[in-house]
Amino acid sequence: MLAKHSCRALALALAFTLPAAAQPVTEIVVQYPYGDVFKETHNRLVEEFAKTHPGIKVSFRAPYKDYEDATQRILREAVTGTTPDITFQGLNRVRALADKQVAAPLDDFIKAETDFEAQGFHKAMRDAGSIGGKVYGLPFAVSLPIAYFNLDLVKAAGGDPAALPTSWDGVISLAAKIQGLRPGVHGIAAEWPISGNWLFQALVFENGGNMMDAGETKVAFDDEAGRKAIGTLARLVTETKTPNISGNDMRTAFAAGQVGVLLTTTAYVNAFTRQIGDRFTMKTSLFPGLTQGLSRLPAGGNVMMITAASAEKRKAAWEVVKYWTGPRGGAAMVETTGYMAPNAKAADHLADFYKRNPNQYTALAQLPYLTNWYAFPGDNGLKITDVIKDHLQSVMDGKRTAQANEVLTEMARDTQALLPAGK
Amino acid sequence: MTNAVLTTGASTLPSTGKRRRPHEEVASWLLVAPAASLILLLLIAPLAAVLGLSFTDYQLGARAWSYVGGANYAALANDPVFWRSVGNTATYAAIVVLGSTGLGLGVALMLGRSSFLTQVWRTVFFLPVMGSLIAMAIVWEFMLHPTFGLINAALGLFGVAPVNWLQNGDTALGVLAVIGIWQQFGFNMVLFLAGLSAIPQSLHDAAEMDGAALAWDRFQLVTWPLLAPVTLFVVVISTIRSFQVFDTVHALTKGGPNKATEVLLYTMYAEGFEFFRTGYAAAIAVVFVMAMLLLTLAKVFIAEKRIHSQ
């Protein structure tokens, strides 16, 4: 009896409330990594988005711990069919999700847009999340390798803080001078272990090389560009005695004022600014050795991919992706994190911000060099990253620094052995 | 610990020899059913799944997989990383078992006589066993830091040049083993203390009367032989625990530099969850389980032999 009554009451209540919500609301579930970095960004964007898009409700799952966790979870959820509608993944994981058909291609959505280019979604931005000519994701937060200088050490070594070197020769000779200043001070540290081969890719790409040939059948990093890349790393060891320490230790040492030049991702600009305070002056500068028209740099950071199953959800998810990676989303992200926005129009909202934070501007100046962070094809794609890291280690710890070219040949051979045979 | 008690207990149970009536048989099956089905569900079934996976090329998240026979095992046999990993695990286990057993016994002997201070020391030495190893690994990381670490600073007082402990391929595995000893010896100490307390004082007195005047003589004559079963247990448990080393490797070295600290469980983790080669990781898991099984069988075999010979 009671149940019947309450049922009727519920039906009545529904009948009264339904007309109020004239538009059916589509809920889009989103999951992103690094909650401590991005939480503020996403919460702010949800508020802004709700004002202009009443038909779509964005909600979040608990953030992924890091990119590894993000990929593991999305792959597991793909098996059980419980993926969120939009997932944020590391830019080098696009391939794994595209190959396993976890993420939907976005080309049809992009074609349907009328003034996509004019909204700041330039070609390099679309390329960063594409595999085999199809766009699977749009980058949200992007980082590039840059140089951080400790100006106090630069001055002490007789360098000019107003004209920091941009060529490898210039940077290495300055670093060698800093190295000799006093014990415990390192001239230069390059965070080569970061994500396995990201910095190596940067060195290959800046010399105009590629990781694989155009057909993705053969390793291509063992050519002249690759030899220059590994040669540069070897020079750091022989000419500047770069320390053989982990990336983490490099960053702590830099923040402690013991490193003259640090080469790593832009993502740390905010963290360093906070940690250093006024103990010394830090200045960011272009990644050394860039040549206009030839060099490219791999984009780190994360990308938004649509993993919703139904066409209706995908359509709503596309609106979310467009807003987040568009000018407004990009501007909000830059203001709340240390990353930069890939969208060309985001900077329109950020003129003041970059004036106040010139160290953030370096990455933006490198935007024309942006290309995608290469992921190797096939089932062993991530294993290859590890193989490359081990070979580079033997150059960086001094064991085989003198035989850098042989290491490169072996690295290419071992990589080739792990690539799909039939391809 | 319970394991040892159970196996020794079961082997000494006298068999009744009587034929049970049918309804008793049904009842006995019913009684073991809950435990048996739990074992089947929680142990046998997952093991069978892993064994099955190890014969496929399954990748995490893949929609399809195919049967590849023994290809994963053949690849393992030719994989230098795997053999490096086996070698490292064996080296690590050897150092940690010797170190933590020796230190555990030594400390237990020194703490033998109970007083207030003994209680304090016992707690102090047991603390690392109770703490979370991952949290303590981070503390170790700070102490071992190449530039501002406590250990290099202390060595610097004696004029020793700073060593980059975890980034140097020659020292990294040794350092991890020292952390392993530090973490495990407290547990072994407690086991030895229990063993020592079971040795009656009268035996020592008798030995002394018979001319064993030195403490070392009494240790050789009385303590050591009577501690043998405890020692065996400690060695086996320490071996199994050392084979399971993972937390410190994951937190401090990630198997590096250049695979110098790659151990079996870490290789399995990296293959399965970093490279997503699930089938291959399953093959490593099978090899690992087999090794553990052999160790356990060896323990049971030796333990039974001892009991029968007594």
Question: Distance (Å, rounded) from C-alpha A65 to C-alpha A32?
Answer: 9
Strand order in the sheet with A186-190: A186-190, A259-265, A145-150, A282-285
Per the prediction, chain B carries an average pLDDT of 84
What does the pLDDT profile of chain B (310 residues) look like in tens digits? Answer: 344 444 444 444 445 555 667 788 888 889 999 999 999 999 999 999 999 999 998 888 777 788 888 889 998 998 889 999 999 999 999 999 999 999 999 988 888 666 777 788 888 888 888 888 888 888 898 888 887 788 888 888 888 888 888 888 888 999 999 999 999 999 999 999 888 888 888 888 888 888 777 778 888 888 888 888 889 889 988 998 999 899 899 988 888 788 889 999 999 999 988 888 889 999 999 999 998 888 888 878 877 776 554 4
- Residue numbers in A near B148 (CB within 8 A): 256
SS3 A245: coil
b or e along A403-412 (b: 16 or more beta carbons within 10 Å of the residue's beta carbon)?
ebeebbebbb
The CATH architecture assigned to A145-296+377-418 reads: 3-Layer(aba) Sandwich (3.40)
| Contact between chains at A184 and B256 (C-beta distance less than 8 A) | no
Interface test with B, best of A68, A392, A397 (most B CBs within 10 A): A397
Please write the tens of the pLDDT for every residue from B163-183: 888 888 888 999 999 999 999
| Contact between chains at B62 and A393 (C-beta distance less than 8 A) | no
CATH topology assigned to domain B79-309: MetI-like fold (1.10.3720)
Q: What is the structure's pLDDT at A20?
A: 46
Q: What is the DSSP string of B149-215?
A: -HHHHHHHHTTPPP--TTT-TTTHHHHHHHHHHHHHHHHHHHHHHHHHHTS-HHHHHHHHHTT--SH
Question: Distance (Å, rounded) from C-alpha A283 to C-alpha A273?
Answer: 10
- Residue numbers in A near B275 (CB within 8 A): 380, 382-383, 386
- Residue numbers in B near A246 (CB within 8 A): 166-167
What does the pLDDT profile of chain A (423 residues) look like in tens digits? Answer: 444 455 555 554 444 444 444 567 899 999 999 887 788 899 999 999 999 999 999 999 999 988 878 988 898 888 888 999 999 999 888 988 888 889 999 999 999 998 888 888 988 888 888 888 899 999 999 889 999 999 999 999 999 999 999 999 999 999 999 998 888 899 999 999 887 789 999 999 999 999 999 888 999 999 999 999 999 999 999 999 898 888 888 998 899 999 999 999 888 888 888 889 999 999 999 999 999 989 999 988 999 999 998 999 999 999 999 999 999 999 999 888 878 888 888 888 888 888 888 888 888 888 888 888 888 888 888 889 889 999 999 999 888 898 999 999 999 999 999 998 754
Asked whether the beta carbons of A331 and A354 are under 8 A apart, the reply is no
- Alpha-carbon distance A198 to nearest alpha carbon in chain B (angstroms): 16
ipTM value = 0.71
Question: Distance (Å, rounded) from C-alpha A392 to C-alpha A409?
Answer: 12
SS3 B242: helix
Q: What is the structure's pLDDT at A194?
A: 84
Longest pairwise C-alpha distance within chain A: 91
Please name the member of B145, B271, B273 whose beta carbon is closest to the beta carbon of A249: B145
| Contact between chains at B167 and A397 (C-beta distance less than 8 A) | yes
| Contact between chains at B277 and A383 (C-beta distance less than 8 A) | yes
Q: Is the peptide bond before B257 cis (omega within 30 degrees of 0)?
A: yes
Question: Distance (Å, rounded) from C-alpha A40 to C-alpha B303?
Answer: 60
| Contact between chains at A258 and B164 (C-beta distance less than 8 A) | no
Q: How far is CA B63 from CA A79, A134, A244, B58, in A?
A: 7, 20, 42, 9
- Alpha-carbon distance A102 to nearest alpha carbon in chain B (angstroms): 8
Question: Distance (Å, rounded) from C-alpha B130 to C-alpha B146?
Answer: 28
| A21-143+299-372 against A145-296+377-418: fold identical | yes
| Contact between chains at A252 and B277 (C-beta distance less than 8 A) | no
CATH number for A21-143+299-372: choose from 3.40.50.1110, 3.50.50.60, 3.40.190.10, 1.10.287.70.
Answer: 3.40.190.10
Q: What is the structure's pLDDT at A15?
A: 47
Q: What is the structure's pLDDT at A83?
A: 93
| Contact between chains at B167 and A245 (C-beta distance less than 8 A) | yes
B148 DSSP assignment: T
- The CA-CA-CA angle for residues B63, B69, B73, to 5°, reads 105
- Residue numbers in A near B270 (CB within 8 A): 386
Q: What is the structure's pLDDT at B152?
A: 87
CA-nearest residue of chain A to B149? A249
Interface test with B, best of A65, A68, A72, A399 (most B CBs within 10 A): A72
Task: Flag whether the pTM goes above 0.80.
Answer: no
Interface of chain A toward chain B, CB-CB under 8 angstroms:
68, 71-72, 74-76, 78-79, 96, 100-102, 184, 243-246, 249, 252-253, 256, 258, 379-380, 382-383, 386, 390, 393-394, 397
Question: Distance (Å, rounded) from C-alpha A296 to C-alpha A198?
Answer: 13
Write down the domain spans for chain A: 21-143+299-372, 145-296+377-418
Q: What is the structure's pLDDT at A213?
A: 92
- Residue numbers in A near B60 (CB within 8 A): 72, 75-76
Residue A341 structure tokens: 């926005």
Asked whether the beta carbons of A325 and A343 are under 8 A apart, the reply is yes
Interface test with B, best of A250, A386, A388, A390 (most B CBs within 10 A): A386
